[in-house]
């Protein structure tokens, strides 16, 4: 039984479920943690994922309420389906809920993307990672750093350095990234596609632009941090294209920053997986608070500036492909304006065979 519920998990599951096909019977549970069509359904379409066997429709809520709702349903499904293993991905509330429900039942608990740490326990994702790793029976770690982290925490049994399954998926779709003009898919935030108002001006030919994403609660729920990020992005010399997460739109409106953001940033509606990767390829550089985007930028050779003080993908910083600037407007401007592609890009997260390794190991463990 595989538990998914958010954008990065759909991307990871696209590789792992494909690799598991024909080896084991898989039941897929979509928790509904991400419920906006561009954050959920479009990923299933673009990545050719089968429809989930179960859709829990939990939607948005507090961390405790969302986690509890998923736990109750996963426990019920585990009892009904009696899976040999429950597989969870990454660090969301869906991850933790699936882990807690499974670890108190019979199935083997498998954690894909184990061993990541930012060192910042104020992040809900960090707590989710730690708890899931210490519940899990099998840990698929994307890097040697992740393996070493697990070892420091006393976790050595069932640890496999698999590589990063998100890289597998990206390689599978990379040839499709040149299929369409990405500008045709961009709709100004607040508009609808039916208006016929496409944002061609947002990606002006071959001109340089910055791609930005802001969605983490630490940035959207803190008025001072959010204002500083808006000021920093608005002050850049290049145009800034920002696909606006629903949480970000709500925060900008709530804090009275919506008009200020519109003045300096090209806010667009959320885009699907392929269109986002097309933007990332076309962008001169990216400013983000997303862990997944940090990796995707690395894979696609786009210099990254991270709007956080810490990252779980420490290797991208150590090799010069990523800079941490927090929410400081001046640091954002300096880092984005001075970002360059490093001369060297080491193999940090495997060669695109992580899902195959995971499927082979799962099959062996389950007999």
Pair of tokens at residue 234: 């608005």
Confidence of residue 61 (pLDDT cuts 50, 70, 90): confident
Q: Which residues lie below 8 Å from residue 123, measured CB to CB, with a gap of 6+?
A: 216, 218, 310
Confidence of residue 246 (pLDDT cuts 50, 70, 90): confident
Say if residue 30's pLDDT is above 90: yes
Span 238-254, average pLDDT? 93
Give the span between the Cα atoms of 161 and 358, in whole angstroms: 9
Say if residue 207's pLDDT is above 80: no
Please state the domain extents for the chain.
Answer: 2-164+350-366, 178-338
In terms of pLDDT, which residue wins out, 207 or 71?
71
Q: What is the model's pLDDT at position 48?
A: 83
Confidence of residue 197 (pLDDT cuts 50, 70, 90): very low
Active site residue 34: no
Q: What is the model's pLDDT at position 36?
A: 61
Among the ranges 2-6, 148-152, 186-190, which has the highest mean pLDDT value? 148-152
SS (H, E, C) the chain: CEEECCHHHHHHHHHHHHHHCCCCCCCEEECCCCCCHHHCHHHHHHCCCCCCCEECCCCCCCHHHHHHHHHHHHHHHHHHHCCCEEEEECCCHHHHHHHHHHHCCCCEEEEECCCCCCCCCCCHHHHHHHHHHHHCCEEEECCHHHHHHHHHCCCCCCEEECCCHHHHHHHHHHHHHHCCCHHHHCCECCCCHHHCCCCHHHCCCCCCCEEEECCCHHHHCCHHHHHHHHHHHHCCCCCEEEECCHHHHHHHHHCCCHHHHHHHCEEECCCCHHHHHHHHHHCCEEEECCHHHHHHHHHCCCCEEECCCCCCCHHHHHCCCEEECCCCHHHHHHHHHHCCCCCCCCCCCCCCCHHHHHHHHHHHHHC
Q: What is the pTM of this model?
A: 0.91
Fold of the domain spanning 178-338: Rossmann fold (3.40.50)
Q: What is the model's pLDDT at position 62?
A: 85
Considering the candidates 30, 34, 111, 215, report the single residue annotated as catalytic: 215
CATH code, 2-164+350-366: 3.40.50.2000
Q: What is the model's pLDDT at position 134?
A: 98
The candidate with the shortest Cα–Cα distance to 90, out of 28, 8, 195, is 8
CATH topology agreement for domains 2-164+350-366 and 178-338: yes
């Amino acid at each position: 039984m595989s538990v998914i519920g958010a954008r990065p998990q759909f991307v990871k599951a696209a590789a792992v479920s494909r690799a598991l096909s024909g080896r084991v019977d898989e039941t897929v549970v979509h928790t509904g943690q991400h419920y906006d069509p561009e954050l959920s359904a479009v990923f299933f379409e673009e990545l050719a994922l089968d429809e989930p066997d179960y859709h829990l429709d939990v939607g948005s809520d507090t961390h405790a309420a969302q986690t509890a709702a998923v736990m109750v349903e996963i426990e019920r499904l585990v009892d009904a389906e009696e899976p040999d293993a429950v597989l969870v991905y990454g660090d969301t509330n869906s991850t933790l809920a699936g882990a807690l429900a499974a670890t108190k039942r019979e199935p083997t608990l498998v954690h894909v993307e184990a061993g990541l740490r930012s060192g910042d326990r104020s992040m809900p994702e960090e707590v989710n990672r730690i708890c899931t790793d210490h519940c899990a029976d099998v840990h698929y770690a994307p890097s040697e750093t992740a393996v070493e982290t697990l070892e420091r925490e006393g976790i050595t049994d069932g640890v496999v350095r698999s590589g990063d399954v998100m890289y597998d998926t990206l390689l599978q779709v990379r040839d499709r990234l040149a299929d369409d003009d990405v500008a045709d898919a961009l709709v100004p935030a607040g508009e609808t596609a039916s208006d016929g108002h496409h944002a061609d001006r947002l990606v002006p030919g071959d001109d340089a632009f910055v791609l930005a994403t802001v969605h983490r609660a630490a940035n959207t729920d803190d008025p001072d941090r959010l204002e500083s990020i808006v000021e920093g992005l608005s002050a850049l010399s290049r145009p800034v294209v920002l696909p606006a997460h629903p949480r970000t739109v709500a925060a900008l409106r709530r804090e009275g920053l919506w008009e200020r953001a519109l003045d300096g940033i090209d806010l667009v509606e959320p885009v699907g997986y392929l269109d986002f990767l097309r933007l990332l390829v076309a962008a001169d550089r990216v400013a983000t608070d997303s862990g997944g985007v940090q990796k995707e930028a690395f894979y696609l050779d786009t210099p990254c500036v991270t709007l956080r003080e810490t990252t779980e993908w420490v290797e991208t910083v150590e090799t010069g492909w990523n800079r941490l600037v927090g929410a400081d407007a001046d640091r954002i401007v300096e880092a984005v304006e001075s970002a360059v592609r490093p001369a060297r890009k080491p193999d940090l997260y495997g060669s695109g065979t992580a899902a195959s390794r995971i499927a082979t190991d799962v099959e062996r463990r389950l007999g």
